[in-house]
A and B are shown apart, each in its own frame.
Chain A
């Protein structure tokens, strides 16, 4: 299955600033997914990123707040913009390694906004 390198692993940021999270995959994948896990909660999909097209956002998430880039088949970034304490969460990227392997997740970025 695919191996995902996600960074940073954690960060503490001031409100009003932005943070960009990177995910690098060791193989080419068509779709990359970005999830948010709020404290003590389950995972919620933010958006799906395909190479060469605009990301598709889930209800409640907008591009101005969470812009995504997907410049090639092995890399994607998620930016959390104009942060507030409510954005404090773990952010995870995921790919479908293959039909047999299922979905692989990055190790996550633990974001704290102060």
Chain B
């Protein structure tokens, strides 16, 4: 069975500081990995995805994630956080033409 663990429920960072959100997954084959962001009252927006190839993936809004097969991880990073980045972040794993399994989410708070 596939699963995703996001160990940090809530993270607070100062504006301009760096950010890393953790994600560990369990999947029986080559995983397709995703990071989504959900602002309050909004739908899900895809930040980035990993299917294959380069293990460092660049996304929108200055985010990047690194796939580490040996650690079953797909951590999300941003070098300098902006106040507008405050939102809920979800990591998900799945395969093509199949369902996604989501982690429980990490709520990011940004202090000015």
Contacts and interface: CB of A to CB of B under 8 A. Distances in A.
B104 A45 contact: no
Nearest to A56: B99
Contact of B43 (A44, A92, A102): A92
A58 B2 CA distance: 14
Contact of B100 (A6, A41, A45, A110): A45
30 contacts: A1-B46, A30-B97, A33-B99, A41-B104, A42-B90, A42-B103, A42-B104, A42-B105, A43-B100, A43-B102, A44-B102, A45-B101, A48-B99, A58-B99, A96-B96, A96-B97, A99-B96, A102-B32, A102-B34, A102-B46, A102-B49, A103-B46, A103-B100, A104-B46, A105-B36, A105-B43, A105-B44, A107-B42, A108-B43, A110-B41
A94 interface: yes
Nearest to B100: A103
A63 interface: no
Nearest to A93: B43
Interface in B67-112: 90, 94, 96-97, 99-105
A33 B6 CA distance: 23
B70 to A, nearest CB: 24
